[in-house]
Amino acid sequence: MKTLKTLSIIALLIAFQIETTLAQPRGMDGRGSGNMPAIGVLKGKILDKNTSELIEYATIALIRQKDSTIATGGISNSQGVFLLDKVPFGRYTVQITIVR
């Protein structure tokens, strides 16, 4: 359970580095600029906090904070890298699950 908590913290730190269109100038409605879609990308690498080893085939779930439903998810590859694309803007919790 401690490993899951550690991995969740690491994933949240990665989430702060998310590349989204929020960095673009705001439009008239305050939600984005022009015709840009309201989607983003979350990518990162899953590492063990204690050993810095890559965690392969971890399950990543992006959970909506407003209703606790899963918005999207994926699996890290053999190098511990994951990519969640077409993520709608919103507030999320990242949940990472591994099997040891």
For residues 80 and 55, is the Cβ–Cβ distance under 8 A?
A: yes
Q: Is the pLDDT of residue 73 over 90?
A: yes
Q: Is 85 within the bounds of a domain?
A: yes
Residue 60's pLDDT is: 95
End-to-end CA distance of the chain: 11
Q: Is residue 35 part of a domain?
A: no
- Whether 34 is in a domain gets the answer no
DSSP sequence for the chain? -HHHHHHHHHHHHHHTT-EEGGGSPP-TTSS-STT--SEEEEEEE-B-TTT--B-TT-EEEEEETTT--EEEEEE--TTSEEEEEEEESS-EEEEEE---
Residue 33 lies in a domain: no
Residue 32 belongs to a domain: no
- Mean pLDDT value across residues 73-96: 93
Bridge partners (DSSP) listed for residue 84: 42
Please determine, for residue 61, whether its predicted confidence score (pLDDT) is greater than 90: yes
How many separate domains does the chain show?
1
Mean pLDDT of the 27-40 span:
60
Can you give the CATH number for the domain in which 80 is found? 2.60.40
More confident residue, 18 or 37: 37
Residues in the chain: 100
Q: Which pLDDT value is given to residue 99?
A: 85
* pLDDT-derived band at 31, boundaries 50, 70, 90: low
Q: What is the pTM of this model?
A: 0.61
